[in-house]
Amino acid sequence: MTLKSKLMLSLAALSTSALPALAQEAGSLDEKVNAVFAASTGWFVTLIFSPFPGTNFPWIVMWLVIAATVFTLYFGFVQFRYFRHAIQLVKGDYSDPNDAGEVSHFQALATALSGTVGLGNIAGVAVAVGIGGPGATFWMILAGLMGMASKFTECTLGVKYRNEYPDGSVSGGPMYYISKGFSELGLPGGKILAVLFSIFCILGALGGGNMFQANQAHAQISGIVGDYPGWITGIIFAAVVFAVIVGGIKSIANVTEKVVPIMGILYVGAALIIILVNYDKIGWAFGQIFAGAFTGLGVAGGFVGALIQGFKRAAFSNEAGVGSAAIAHSAVKTKEPITEGFVSLLEPLIDTVVICTMTALVITISGQLIIDPASGNYVLNEAGSAIATVGNTSGVSLTSAAFGSGISWFPYVLALAVVLFAFSTMISWSYYGLKAWTYLFGEGSTSELVFKVIFCVFIVIGAAASLGPVIDFSDAAIFAMAVVNITALYFLMKLVKVELESYSARLKSGEIKKFAH
């Protein structure tokens, strides 16, 4: 056994033996960890999320929105022109089971969706609508529609430059297409950018894609069954997650293709029932959305406030441009990279345009938004807590109250949705972090096992502790991925254009035909 293998096995054993102690001490270490992280990483968090001077509009959101706009125009509104073809691909009409790859188009889409559809669709939308009013929904939908082009670009490249191994497994994502694509174009710095992306991806996977999810799931469960130690939730989640992720992307895809439709139908179905119960207010709600989008009625910051909140929620929800989804989509069975670009553009549509909009409609129709009579504005601040002490209007609480206004037991359905969202996000981000880990430290069962054990240890810590600055730092790392990824996409998008023109010509001529199943 090599020294590297021995070291990795020792790390895995240490992580396993330290699990109970870490879980017990997590709570007591909260303050120390918070203080250390706030002091050492606060500058990085501030850098990523700092607003433009004189505004509260984070520059990173504008970075994502501008990229989505550029890709939409550059590819001639590809998200609308090839929408029908994307549906056909997901259905498997053009799928050859003998193509290289590990999962189907539908499984790749479900895995990527499970990483983006999460608590942001529930709590984040409540904060956006609470601050920006119903009008924020309009800008959220617009940003989601444009973000479809960003997903198309990055996921096409993910498949084009993936590594395919003799055993049939594959590895792909921004770290691969940045290093290979830059090399192909004769551009310097590709390897450095790929390493940077991988580091940010691992940090984001352990924090925002793991600890935060476990923490919020425990909060929801304990809110229903009563208070109990968070490490119990953490160990249960860790055991279930490990059982899924130990089997690799095929195991993850087999779970997500079942969980994602269930949680989507559960949540959207519940929202539709609330909307139908209040059917007489549907026209009024859409009126509020369109009026608020351009006039900013009842919004702190007026029209600009509604626009900012809508764009922020879309950017933070669907992760278009972050590059994470390209890792999952790279595992698809296909010989045409552009086909997975078409499939991936459905993600922001489902995540932002459908699910986030449902949340916003329920909140608007239910009448749970509270207006401060003194200012005439809605009473949520950036943290999602009430500006005025009128009712309980925090993120998840506001959504829960909105669902409960229709049918009393619906908050329990919402709690189940939160748990499913958290679980699905964790298993997807485990794969994203794993591929970044193996890019840095090498492929192999030992290397992969080390990361999977570490990932599950962090689930327990996340559920047991309240590590605010740690989560802030990991969120900043996720959006730092977007800085690296989008910078690279601007150089590489011409390669996607070549793929698009070639495929389009062959599809139009009839050379590419539906596969006979």
Q: What is the CATH number of the domain that holds 325?
A: 1.20.1740.10
Query: Which residue type occupies 307?
Result: L
Q: Is the distance from CB of 126 to CB of 369 less than 8 angstroms?
A: no
Residue 510 located in a structural domain: no
Residue 201 located in a structural domain: yes
Tokens of 270: 């519940």
Closest by CA to 204, choosing from 426, 40, 466, 457, is 426
Residue 513 located in a structural domain: no
Full 3-state SS string of 346-400: HHHHHHHHHHHHHHHHHHHHHCCCCECCCCCCECECCCCCECCCCCCCCHHHHHH
Q: Write down the pLDDT at residue 498.
A: 94
Domain that holds residue 228: 16-47+56-504
Alpha-carbon gap, residue 296 to 378, rounded angstroms:
11
Give the residue carrying structure tokens 């029908």.
Answer: 84
> Cα 74 to chain center, whole Å?
25
Residue 3 located in a structural domain: no
Residue 517 located in a structural domain: no
Q: Write down the pLDDT at residue 156.
A: 95
Alpha-carbon gap, residue 130 to 397, rounded angstroms:
12
Alpha-carbon gap, residue 428 to 110, rounded angstroms:
10
Residue 314 located in a structural domain: yes
Q: Write down the pLDDT at residue 33.
A: 62
Residue 8 located in a structural domain: no
Containing 505, the helix (H) or strand (E) segment is helix 468-509
C-alpha distances in angstroms, 57 versus 132, 205, 255, 317?
12, 25, 38, 16
Q: Write down the pLDDT at residue 473.
A: 81
C-alpha distances in angstroms, 446 versus 166, 248, 430, 449, 497?
18, 13, 16, 5, 39
Closest by CA to 130, choosing from 7, 300, 4, is 300
Q: Spell out the per-residue pLDDT of the chain, length 517, in tens.
A: 443 444 344 444 545 455 555 445 544 555 676 677 677 777 888 888 888 887 778 888 889 989 999 999 999 999 999 999 999 988 888 777 777 777 788 888 888 887 777 766 777 777 777 777 788 888 888 988 999 999 999 999 999 999 888 877 888 999 999 999 999 999 999 999 999 999 999 998 988 888 888 887 887 788 778 788 888 888 999 998 898 888 877 788 788 888 778 888 888 888 888 888 888 888 888 888 888 787 755 555 566 667 777 887 777 777 888 999 899 889 888 888 999 999 999 988 888 888 888 888 888 887 766 555 555 555 544 444 443 333 334 456 677 777 777 677 777 777 787 788 888 888 889 999 999 999 999 887 788 899 999 999 988 888 887 767 777 787 888 889 999 999 999 999 999 999 999 999 998 888 878 776 5
Q: Write down the pLDDT at residue 495.
A: 95
Q: Please give the tally of structural domains in the chain.
A: 1
Tokens of 95: 């799928």
Tokens of 98: 């003998």
Q: Is the distance from CB of 417 to CB of 411 less than 8 angstroms?
A: no
Residue 428 located in a structural domain: yes
